[in-house]
Amino acid sequence: MHRRAKPLLFFLLKKPLPSPNPNFKNLGLGFHTLQGTNSESSASFNPLPLRFLRRFCSSSSSAELAGPLFEPRTSDGLTVGSIVSKKWTILDEGQGDWKSHAAAIAQSIQLIKKRLQWRKMVVRLDQLSVVLNKPDLWNDPVFAGRVSREHGGIMSKMKEVNGYEQELLEHIDMLKLAREENDEELESESMNALLNMRRNAKEKELEALLSGENDSCSCFMEVQAGAGGTESMDWASMVMNMYNMWAQRHGFGVTVVEEMPGEIAGIKRATIKVDGEYAYGYAKAEVGVHRLVRISPFDSGNRRHTSFAAVAVTPILGDVSTRFQIKESDLRIERFRSGGAGGQHANTTDSAVRIVHIPTGVTATCQNERSQHSNKASAMAVLQSRLDQLEMARQAQQNASYTQTFNDNSWGNQIRSYVLHPYRMVKDLRTNYEVSDPDSVLEGDLDGFILNFLSASLDKDDYS
């Protein structure tokens, strides 16, 4: 954990300052009041030069007095919004100057505001304040308590964000002051504070991005080959391998739930369980059709082929009360002989299990475990997750369902293109984020794509 930088006032007070000036006698500052002090204490106190006080009070004190709706600013009027609008170049941490660090932090703060739906919070806070000021509010203690708690929760969040803005602008003021005074020590401390804050801002940004209702859950990831025959089955296998490596990079546990091999190569379909905090929050960015362009290793004419694979992600809900209630009478359980790898025993007994939820038609299959009992338990877990997602979609009055992910696994429906020939590039068609190193992506380096999608998915109108 990085050390939190000392506030601006600390550095101002530690600098050698001029002798007392009568102009400061009636300022009544919170940290020191000259009125009523004895001569000894007055003589030992070195008041701040007026320009320092103005700089500090214009940013810190006024922001604290004005509350969470006040927009903090530097002594020369710089705000987080104006920093973003200046579009300062954001360089890597090791190469950036103070403007680069400040721009990166301001960008993170704007994203956090966006995720919190800042404008809606401001409106809601005003509405709640009106209700709280009504003289008859506590005639209904239950209602009053609910309003008070909601008001306090919004105030707390807004104060936290404003405090973070305030911290950034204080560091900028410190750095400018250090340069004016040729104070190399203060300048170095200010730069380090900005760098540490930049790193911390990325963590806060990620927390904001992964604050959805089910983002903290583990999940199932399913990959299904699309149009393209053997070539697409091989591509589906590559995609599944990519997710395995991505999950391992994040320390998630990975269990193969179902795998249906292709006739020649690859897989027709496979499902894995990804265990770990925020697995679903990350993986949901991968839902959709993934397109590959390459010279096919299965084409003796070395021609270029286009292949497709579809990805579906469903959360594993921890709260039983939010789950879809499955009736035993609504299930049809089918047992059959495992068709894939799994050892002699698995391939010679009816150990594989397929469960059909008759009212919805949703199915789940597992054949990777050695025993029928284990396969049934795994298939039920997958079925539960899929039905949970259907129920969430219904409650949100959405038209989509789990099965729609695979409705048209072909041209015009892809979210990302992986081109290995005639050039090399991976591009997300939703965000236009792209990299020129497809090998690293296929080895699980997906965070750039995921974070860009999560950032872009936020409503632009939800912050100010």
Query: What is the pLDDT, as a whole number, of residue 459?
Result: 53
Confidence of residue 455 (pLDDT cuts 50, 70, 90): confident
Given a cut of 70, whether residue 40 has pLDDT beyond it is: no
**Is the pLDDT reported for residue 334 higher than 70?**
yes
Contact status, residue 416 vs residue 426, Cβ threshold 8 Å: yes
User: Are the beta carbons of 122 and 134 closer than 8 angstroms?
Assistant: no
- If you average pLDDT over residues 194-221, what whole number do you get? 87
Give the model's pLDDT for residue 42: 38
Which residues lie below 8 Å from residue 404, measured CB to CB, with a gap of 6+? none
Q: What length does the chain have?
A: 464
What H or E segment, with its residue span, contains residue 444? none
80 vs 459: which has the higher pLDDT: 80
Average pLDDT estimate for 34-39: 36
Tell me which range, 33-42, 107-116, 164-173, 447-456, is most confidently predicted by mean pLDDT.
Answer: 164-173
CB 193 within 8 Å of CB 171 = yes
Supply the pLDDT for residue 7: 45
Axis-axis angle for helices 141-180, 118-132 (nearest 10): 130
Q: Are strands 414-419 and 288-295 parallel, antiparallel or unpaired?
A: parallel
Q: Which of 46-55, 338-347, 438-447: highest mean pLDDT?
A: 438-447
Residue 352: CB partners within 8 Å, gap ≥ 6?
335, 336, 337, 338, 339, 365, 366, 367, 372, 375
Among 91-105, 366-380, 425-439, top mean pLDDT goes to: 425-439
For the ranges 92-96, 203-207, 373-377, the one whose mean pLDDT is highest: 373-377
Q: Which of 279-293, 363-377, 449-463 has the lowest mean pLDDT?
A: 449-463
CA–CA separation, 417 and 428 (whole Å): 7
Asked whether the predicted pLDDT for residue 228 surpasses 50, the reply is: yes
Check residues 457 and 374 and name the one with the higher pLDDT: 374
Q: Which two tokens stand for residue 329?
A: 């009478």
- For 178-208, give one letter per residue: b (16+ CB within 10 A) or e: beeeebeebbebbbebbbbbbebbeebbbeb
Angle at 266 between CA 274 and CA 238, to 5 degrees: 55
Locate the DSSP E strands across 378-441: 414-419, 425-428, 434-435
Range name among 37-41, 312-316, 391-395, 443-447 with the lowest pLDDT average: 37-41
Is it the case that residue 109 has pLDDT exceeding 80? yes
Query: Using 50, 70 and 90 to split pLDDT, how confident is the model at 212?
Result: confident
Percent of the chain with pLDDT over 70: 75
pLDDT of residue 385: 86
In this structure, are residues 263 and 230 in contact, taking their beta carbons and an 8 Å threshold? yes
pLDDT for residue 371: 85
Sign for the CA dihedral angle at 319, 321, 324, 330 comes to positive
Structure tokens at 62: 């006024």
Arithmetic mean of pLDDT, 37-55: 40
| pLDDT mean over 203-229 | 87
pTM (global) more than 0.85 = no
Predicted pLDDT of residue 434: 96
- Confidence category of residue 8, pLDDT binned at 50, 70, 90: very low
- Closest of 270, 265, 362, 283 to residue 309, by C-alpha: 270
Which of helix, strand or coil describes residue 136? coil
Q: Tens of pLDDT along 385-440?
A: 888 878 776 755 543 334 444 545 655 679 999 999 999 999 999 999 999 999 99
Domains of the chain: 8-209 (1.20.58.410), 214-458 (3.30.70.1660)
**152-156, 226-230, 339-343, 457-461: which range is least confident on average?**
339-343
Provide the mean pLDDT of the chain.
Answer: 80
- The amino acid at residue 462 is D
Secondary structure letter of residue 20 according to DSSP: P
| pLDDT-derived band at 370, boundaries 50, 70, 90 | confident
Rounded distance between C-alpha atoms, residue 340 and residue 363, angstroms: 19
Q: Model confidence at 320, in pLDDT bands (50, 70, 90)?
A: low
* pLDDT of 290 higher than 90: yes
Mean pLDDT of 83-88: 92
**Contacts with 224 (C-beta within 8 Å, 6 or more apart), sequence order:** 236, 268, 269, 309, 310, 312, 406, 409
What would the mean pLDDT of 196-224 be, rounded to a whole number?
87
pLDDT at 281: 93
Report, as an integer, the average pLDDT of 358-382: 88
- pLDDT at position 413 is 73
Residues 344-364 have pLDDT tens digits of 444 556 788 999 999 999 999
Is residue 2 over pLDDT 80?
A: no
Q: What is the DSSP letter of 215?
A: T
Q: Look up residue 32 and give its two tokens.
A: 């020191």
* Rg, Å, the chain Cα set: 29
Amino acid at 372: Q
**pLDDT for 211:** 79
pLDDT band (50, 70, 90) for residue 340 = low
Tell me the CA distances in angstroms from 184 to 38, 176, 188, 376, one per residue in order: 36, 11, 6, 68
At 267, phi and psi to the nearest 5? -135, 145
H helices within 287-419, ranges in order? 343-348, 372-395
DSSP assignment string, 36-92: T--HHHHHH--PPPHHHHHHHIIIIIHHHHH-TTS----TT---HHHHHHHT-----
